A and B are shown apart, each in its own frame.
Chain A
Amino acid sequence: EPEVTQTPSHQVTQMGQEVILRCVPISNHLYFYWYRQILGQKVEFLVSFYNNEISEKSEIFDDQFSVERPDGSNFTLKIRSTKLEDSAMYFCASSEVQGEGEQYFGPGTRLTVT
């Protein structure tokens, strides 16, 4: 069964450093998403991406964040200058259709900022 994959599974970085989280969505999906989940809290929407551009973003997704689809398979989330409060689990998701389309989530990348 096709699945969304994410690398790395765990990333430790120092405050102020740049990190890139990588995702490979399901191959025939057209809509891509990033979510984050701070430990013990709810899953929060960050950004959705379609046709090589951001289609929607939340207030969390400020200038420190960017997304890119550098090739036909990868989808990345970059945090330019990490802060302690960026420590969270980051989930990538993809869907075949928008709106009611079922979103398939990856296993997540645990980001720890020290």
Chain B
Amino acid sequence: SQKIEQNSEALNIQEGKTATLTCNYTNYSPAYLQWYRQDPGRGPVFLLLIRENKKEKRKERLKVTFDTTLKQSLFHITASQPADSATYLCALPKNSGGYQKVTFGTGTKLQVIP
């Protein structure tokens, strides 16, 4: 069955450092992958989408890589700030057709320490 795995343990890093979060998936061949941010008690907020034919995408301090051979995406936040503290979710579309169904990973909680 299709599975999305994110590190369930919280990631604590010092302000100013680069945070790197991992998303691994199995039994998928997604056309794209998305990253969302979720704050406690709030809905997810879209951050970035990367298509399967792209290896890397950047947006301001964010960088996402997508390795379809390893079936892995890495999400980087450079020069991290306490305001970046949140849970980060990766999301993939349903495997075959059905683009409207997006499946979320469990998320990784990031804590940026001042």
Contact = CB atoms under 8 A, between A and B. Distances in A.
B100 A31 contact: yes
Contact of A45 (B41, B42, B49, B103): B103
A98 B44 contact: no
A100 B32 contact: yes
A33 B94 CA distance: 14
Interface residues of B, number: 25
Contacts of A43: 38, 44, 89, 104
A33 B102 CA distance: 10
Given A42-B105, A42-B106, A42-B107, A56 B42 contact: no
A103 interface: yes
Given A41-B106, A42-B104, A107 B42 contact: yes
What's the interface size class on A, roughly?
A: 20 to 34
B10 interface: no
B43 interface: yes
B101 A93 contact: no
B44 A91 contact: yes
A48 interface: yes
Most chain A beta carbons < 10 A, residue from B44, B45, B104: B44
B35 to A, nearest CB: 11
Contacts of A91: 43-44
Given A43-B44, A48-B101, A103-B46, 19 more contacts: A4-B43, A42-B105, A42-B106, A42-B107, A43-B38, A43-B104, A45-B102, A45-B103, A45-B104, A56-B98, A58-B101, A99-B93, A102-B46, A103-B102, A104-B46, A105-B43, A105-B45, A108-B41, A108-B43
Interface of B: 31-32, 34, 38, 41-46, 49, 51, 89, 93-94, 98-107
